Amino acid sequence: MTFSDVMTLISNWAIPLVVALVCFWAILKKVPVYSIFTEGAKEGFSTAVMIIPYLTAMLCAIGMFRASGAMDWLCAILDPVTSLIGCPSEILPQAIMRSFSGGASEGMLADLLAQYGTQSKIGRIASVAQGSTETTFYIIAVYMGSVGVSNARHSVAAGLLGDLGSLLAAVAIVNIMWF
Amino acid sequence: MMNYIWVGLVVIAVIAGAFTGTMEGVLNNIFDFANTAVEISLGLIGIMAFFCGLMKVMQEAGICDKLAKGIAPVMTRLFPEVPKDHPAMSAMALWIAANMLGIGNAATPFGLKAMRELQTLNPTKSIATNAQCMMLAIGTTSVTLLPVTVLGLRAAVQTDGAAEIIVPVIIATTISTVVGIVFTLIFQKTKRWKWENVIEKEIAAGTLELNEHYAGGENPIVLPEGYVCKYAEEE
């Protein structure tokens, strides 16, 4: 078995195992699992519906941008930089957006997945980069704002370097595991 | 910000389409991608519902609290300024635990409470303390065990291999969090961002305000005689 086989195996087992263990543990704790599950699922429904407008706005704009040929120009400009680290330049717009807007970067990820496939290099790197970090500016604005702190000192810089770290890690891991 | 990006994308697309003669493609993509957006969103509903159901069960079963207890020893090292039994500690631990499990909705109230508690340890009104910066370094880089939305989007496009990114995400999110923590530790000692230096700078600029609700005893910041805060005057 190769390294990537093992990783894939763990990825395949993770969710079913977690689902089974959580439910078993919960029933031991006398939690009414079924009704709690459906109650939570209702929240999931509204979360998914909530992102439809953002997804539509972003996907249509990106779709226009892509069809016009402007995306090709942007990628041609970015390519010399990103190819140095083995990252397809198509990902960069999404990676930059990741720090600013969760909804918009999710839209861009959806576009990359639909365009290139979920198991393409682009689709995999974009998925890993999207999942491994949070929307830096949003988090800082919400939490610092909630207590009236206006001088966030080094937290923006640290957060953005973390985002960069997640992108580089995503590129490295995907290249090692699959390509 | 988003306004400019979105308008920029649309306007540049139309201008570029005019130049390259691809206006028909631009038009078609509006309709195609609007459809794709809804298809993906509909595909997302089921998976989001499933995982949010599971999250709720985790929460009710007290798995979040267990996890929070598990990470407590690490917390005391990351937040040396915060007393061990301070309510901020438990709120932060719960916040991080909820984030790890992907319970985004439940995480926010914990995070807001943690921030409020940390603010009672802040001698100033508007300058982030080292502890507050550290908490957000962990928050912005996220520690995820289940990247629910990404899983959902992948599965909405193609079920096969949707979950293959779980292990890579866990590795990458750990790396990004370590990067965020390390840089926070480095930055808080630099000339530009060091706590004492920032205080000095704000006193010189007349923008420093003391926190009247400081709960750590006597306020450690001694303002120079005759100091008047700019904002206080305006009121």
Residue B1: pLDDT band (50, 70, 90) is low
- Higher pLDDT residue, A84 or A159? A159
> What residues of A are in contact with residue B118 (Cβ under 8 Å)?
147
pLDDT at B233: 55
pLDDT at B105: 64
Closest CA to A120 of B165, B104, B234: B165
Domain range enclosing A141: 51-178
Whether residue B138 lies inside any domain: the answer is: yes
> What residues of B are in contact with residue A143 (Cβ under 8 Å)?
111-112, 115, 135-136, 139
Q: Of the candidates A35, A50, A65, which is a domain's last residue?
A: A50
Give the residue-averaged pLDDT of B51-59. Answer: 85
DSSP H helices in chain B:
2-20, 23-60, 63-78, 87-100, 104-119, 130-141, 148-157, 166-187, 195-205, 230-234
pLDDT at B235: 45
pLDDT tens per residue across span A133-148: 998 988 888 888 888 8
Q: Is the pLDDT of residue A5 over 90?
A: no
Whether residue B222 lies inside any domain: the answer is: no
Q: Do A132 and B144 touch (CB under 8 A)?
A: yes
Q: Could you tell me what percent of chain A has a pLDDT over 90? A: 37
Ranking A109-113, B140-144, B172-176 by mean pLDDT, the lowest is: B140-144
Q: Do A153 and B133 touch (CB under 8 A)?
A: yes
What gap in Å lies between CA B80 and CA B201, rounded to an integer?
24
For residues A84 and A164, membership in a common domain is answered with yes
Closest CA to B148 of B48, B40, B42, B38: B48
- Residue window 79-108, chain B: list those with CB within 8 Å of chain A: 105, 108
Closest CA to B107 of A117, A90, A134: A134
- Higher pLDDT residue, B184 or B35? B184
ipTM, two decimals, is 0.84
Residue A52: pLDDT band (50, 70, 90) is confident
What gap in Å lies between CA B179 and CA A164, rounded to an integer?
9
Q: Do B30 and A130 touch (CB under 8 A)?
A: no
**Nearest Cα residue in chain A from B101:** A18
> What residues of A are in contact with residue B187 (Cβ under 8 Å)?
153-154, 157-158
Residue B115: pLDDT band (50, 70, 90) is very high
| A44 near B CB under 8 A | yes
For residues A46 and A60, membership in a common domain is answered with no
Q: Do B57 and A22 touch (CB under 8 A)?
A: yes
CA distance A76 to chain B (A): 15
Whether residue B18 lies inside any domain: the answer is: no
Whether residue B134 lies inside any domain: the answer is: yes
For residues A91 and A39, membership in a common domain is answered with no
Whether residue B8 lies inside any domain: the answer is: no
**Nearest Cα residue in chain A from B173:** A132
Q: Do A18 and B146 touch (CB under 8 A)?
A: yes
pLDDT at B232: 64
pLDDT tens per residue across span A120-131: 999 999 999 999
Structural domain total, chain B: 1
Q: Could you tell me what percent of chain B has a pLDDT over 90? A: 35
For residues A19 and A62, membership in a common domain is answered with no
> What residues of A are in contact with residue B61 (Cβ under 8 Å)?
22, 25-26, 29, 31
Give the residue-averaged pLDDT of B137-148. Answer: 88
CA distance A90 to chain B (A): 15
Q: Is the pLDDT of residue B58 over 90?
A: no
Structural domain total, chain A: 2
Residue B43: pLDDT band (50, 70, 90) is confident
For residues A140 and A113, membership in a common domain is answered with yes
CA distances from B131 to B54, B81, B88, B138 (A): 32, 7, 10, 11
Domain range enclosing B91: 59-187
Whether residue B88 lies inside any domain: the answer is: yes
**Nearest Cα residue in chain B from A139:** B140
Whether residue B44 lies inside any domain: the answer is: no
pLDDT at B131: 94
CA distance A161 to chain B (A): 6
Whether residue B218 lies inside any domain: the answer is: no
Ranking A27-31, A158-162, A170-174, B229-233 by mean pLDDT, the lowest is: B229-233
For residues A68 and A28, membership in a common domain is answered with no
- Answer whether 0.90 is exceeded by the pTM: no
For residues A168 and A109, membership in a common domain is answered with yes
CA distance A133 to chain B (A): 5
pLDDT at A118: 93
> What residues of B are in contact with residue A96 (Cβ under 8 Å)?
none
The DSSP H or E segment spanning A4 is helix A3-28
> What residues of A are in contact with residue B40 (Cβ under 8 Å)?
55, 59, 110, 114
For residues A75 and A162, membership in a common domain is answered with yes
- Higher pLDDT residue, B101 or A122? A122
Q: Is the pLDDT of residue B134 over 90?
A: yes
Give the residue-averaged pLDDT of A94-104. Answer: 86
- Report chain A's mean pLDDT, rounded to a whole number: 88
Q: Is the pLDDT of residue A36 over 60?
A: yes
> What residues of A are in contact with residue B43 (Cβ under 8 Å)?
none
Of B12, B14, B167, the CB nearest to A7: B167
Ranking A1-15, B108-122, B200-214 by mean pLDDT, the lowest is: A1-15
Q: Do A165 and B176 touch (CB under 8 A)?
A: yes
| B53 near A CB under 8 A | yes
- Higher pLDDT residue, A161 or B3? A161
For residues A77 and A91, membership in a common domain is answered with yes
Q: Do B132 and A55 touch (CB under 8 A)?
A: no
Residues whose CB is less than 8 angstroms from the CB of residue A55 and which lie 6 or more positions away in sequence, other chains included: A103, A106, A107, A110, B37, B40, B41
pLDDT at A74: 86
DSSP H helices in A29-87:
33-50, 52-67, 70-82
For residues A18 and A76, membership in a common domain is answered with no
For residues A43 and A104, membership in a common domain is answered with no
For residues A150 and A174, membership in a common domain is answered with yes
> What residues of A are in contact with residue B1 (Cβ under 8 Å)?
100
pLDDT at B2: 67
CB-based burial of residue B147 (10 Å sphere; 0-12 exposed, 13-18 middle, 19+ buried)? Answer: buried
